[in-house]
Structure 1
Amino acid sequence: MLIRRETPADGPAIHTVHSEAFRREEGVTPVEAPLVDELRADGDLINPLSLVALHDGEVVGHVCCSRARLGEDEDTAVGLGPLGVLPAHQRSGVGSALMHAVLGAADAQGHGLVVLLGNPAYYSRFGFVRADTLSITPPDPAWRPHFQARTLAAYQPTQAGAFEYAPAFSRL
């Protein structure tokens, strides 16, 4: 398996990864697939933090981070997601490899926090904690149990407040 930054040619394969990974109903495109397309089109997808996993040259997984606002600050926190892996490659370490790679890249880019909405049982293994323990509030209070944050080297305790995803998330 190889992890690398996405290229423009990867767009259709990334769309397919999220369509298949999040499919709930046959014939219905899950929101995660067009979300990535919209983040990219809006210029909110952070290119060095949009990574693909390749197996035998085929894109089998994708993770991305997008611009976000935390309180009055737009530069310290990023929103992670979606993270998707083709069903045939799930439970084989692809998602974990993508998570480790994107967290390392976000840290190297100087971001203080990575924030996501997801399953605590899965994301806690990567150091994520409930965001409210860091005084970070979700856009929707109902998300609290699943709204998580991971501090990075540039984190400062003053990085707190209301978290706001890139506008494409609001259009879901």
Structure 2
Amino acid sequence: MSVQFAPPSPSLVLKSEEIADAAAIEALLDRAFGPGRFVKSSERVREIADFAPELSFCAFDGEILLGTVRMWRVRVGGQAVTFLGPLAVDHEQRSAGVGGQLVQRACDAARAAGDAWVVLVGDPPYFERFGFSAVDATGVRMPGPVDQKRVLALRLQAGAPVPAGEFGPV
């Protein structure tokens, strides 16, 4: 499912994450989530996953980082999936569609790479508009406490079996 957004601002540029972006990304993540981000179950997944820079993107206005989305390769019950997160957008840009453009770009890149599923922990009303569903993630077990209704999955390849089980390394 592809969601259509208003054309981006002429000055907004989405590009693949680069090593040089790391400091700005960490600063944005700190502002968006605070120090509590390191104790979340999603962080436990990222600790065992392989970062996928080719599927991770940044939104810039000139030299200013406005948003970021990161993707990770991991397994759920032995099945390869892509884990989306974190997604962060500068507070002043949260209603401008930047986050939606980042999610769509990352999911399109994962689909083009042949990935079967994207899994995340997030706000259902926000992510359902991209086709994510809690129903497809009912068998996914996070490594720690989480509201299961916030565990969502998006099927990228027709016929791919629904992921079920615990997270594990690739």
2:124 aligns with 120
Number of residue pairs aligned between Structure 1 and Structure 2: 154
1:68, CA displacement in angstroms?
A: 1.3
Q: Alignment identity in percent?
A: 27
Q: Relative to structure 1, is the Cα distance of residues 98 and 49 closer, same or farther in structure 2, using a 3 angstrom cutoff?
A: same
1:72 aligns with 78
Mapped to 1, the partners of 2:37 and 2:167 lie a distance apart of: 18
Q: RCO (CA 8 Å, sep 6+): is it higher in 1 or 2? A: 2
With normalisation by structure 2, the TM-score equals 0.79
After superposing on structure 2, the runs of 4+ consecutive aligned residues of structure 1 that deviate more than 6 Å are: none
- In the alignment, structure 1 segments of 5+ residues that lack a partner are 24-28, 168-172
SS in 1 for 2:75: strand
- In the alignment, structure 2 segments of 5+ residues that lack a partner are 1-11
Contact 2:137 2:152 in 1 (8 A): no
SS in 1 for 2:31: helix
Please, which of 43, 58, 61 is the counterpart of residue 64 of structure 2? 58
Root mean square deviation of aligned Cα = 2.7
Please, which of 8, 16, 20 is the counterpart of residue 5 of structure 1? 16
Mapped to 2, the partners of 1:42 and 1:133 lie a distance apart of: 22
Tell whether 2:112 aligns with 1:108: yes
Tell whether 2:49 aligns with 1:46: no
With normalisation by structure 1, the TM-score equals 0.78
